[in-house]
């Protein structure tokens, strides 16, 4: 591809970003659909609104936003979609002249991933509760979409190191659907482990370059459970290895990355990615991760 005056620039904003595979997805799809655009990495600890408006360097048409800037992305936007408005966090920014639109595609990606690996989960009357580890931007987007998707019998349990944000998230979810969520301290997880059929890790624990200690004990998982660790690099995090050792099923983190990026790509370009190319992107991701 040759950059010219008509080239559109997109990027991913976060800190740190050594683990990101988003450029593989978006630049690959720009090539597949022959879109005159380039997707770059913008690793910034303290971004500001001028970044996307082009007042710092190049003019950006849109941004993917990851840890720890999802709440910031929501705050600086002029328009917010429903998921962003409810959860006060966004992972996608699209610029229209001097206005910035914010969207949250995390939940979309998570729901698509769960439906792929646990097809009848949302309709099941006997499914256990859902445990979400963390209360940050990803936890907000995912939990909101789970509630909106509809749960037949499951409750959403939030367990986080930050008790204040954890309880605030529970309050927001219960405002959407009364009694759908509750907060559980981390030190109470072991005693309650049998009630959970799906565990979703939204924290950066296990991410490449991170040295945080594990969140749950070595004996937490069982054969009746499924772990969905949204950390995708490395391919098998310590949490995934622990869950597999105890016989739990795994939903790979790259699936959420894949599906949320498909929705981002649509917001960036108006192009709905077809199934053939979704499969192609999945192969690209696995090749990089392996």
Distance CA 57, CA 263 (A): 27
Instruction: Say if residues 258 and 282 touch (Cβ distance below 8 Å).
Output: yes
Partners of 101 in the β-ladder: 79, 94
Q: Is 70 a catalytic residue?
A: yes
Of the residues 44, 55, 70, 290, which is catalytic?
Answer: 70
| Sequence-ordered alpha helix ranges (H) in the chain | 22-32, 50-53, 70-76, 82-87, 106-117, 137-149, 163-176, 189-192, 238-245, 253-269, 275-289
Partners of 93 in the β-ladder: 63, 102
Instruction: Say if residues 82 and 102 touch (Cβ distance below 8 Å).
Output: no
DSSP assignment letter at 217:
-
Partners of 183 in the β-ladder: 158
User: 264: which 2 tokens?
Assistant: 């981002």
Distance CA 194, CA 18 (A): 36
Partners of 159 in the β-ladder: 133
Cα 281 to the center of its chain, rounded Å: 17
Q: From residue 204, how far is each of 45, 200, 286 by CA, in Å?
A: 16, 12, 20
Instruction: Say if residues 196 and 131 touch (Cβ distance below 8 Å).
Output: yes
- 174 contact partners, CB below 8 Å, separation of at least 6: 180, 181
Active-site positions read: 70
């Amino acid at each position: 591809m040759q950059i010219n005056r008509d080239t559109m620039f997109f990027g991913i904003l976060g800190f740190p970003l050594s683990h990101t595979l988003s450029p593989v997805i978006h630049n690959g799809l720009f090539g597949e659909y022959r879109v005159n655009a380039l997707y770059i990495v913008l690793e910034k600890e303290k971004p500001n609104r001028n970044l996307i408006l082009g007042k710092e360097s190049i003019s950006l048409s849109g941004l993917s936003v990851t840890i720890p800037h999802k709440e910031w992305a929501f705050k600086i936007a002029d328009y917010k979609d429903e998921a962003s408005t409810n959860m006060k966090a966004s992972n996608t920014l699209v610029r229209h002249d001097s206005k910035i639109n914010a969207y949250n595609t995390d939940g979309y990606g998570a729901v698509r991933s769960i439906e792929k690996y646990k097809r009848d989960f949302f309709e099941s009357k006997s499914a256990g509760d859902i445990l979400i580890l963390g209360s940050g931007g990803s936890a907000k987007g995912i939990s909101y979409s789970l509630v909106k998707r509809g749960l037949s019998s499951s409750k959403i349990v939030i367990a986080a190191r930050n008790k204040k944000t954890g309880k605030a998230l529970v309050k927001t979810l219960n405002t959407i659907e009364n009694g759908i969520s509750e907060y559980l301290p981390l030190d109470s997880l072991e005693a309650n482990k049998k009630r959970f059929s799906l565990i979703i890790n939204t924290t950066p624990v296990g991410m490449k370059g991170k040295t945080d200690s594990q969140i749950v004990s070595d004996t937490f998982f069982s054969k009746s459970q499924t772990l969905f660790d949204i950390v995708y690099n490395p391919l098998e995090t310590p949490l995934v290895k622990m869950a597999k050792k105890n016989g739990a099923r795994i939903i790979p983190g790259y699936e959420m990355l894949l599906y949320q990026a498909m929705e981002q790509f649509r917001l960036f370009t108006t192009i709905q990615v077809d199934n053939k190319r979704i499969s192609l992107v999945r192969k690209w991701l696995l090749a990089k991760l392996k």
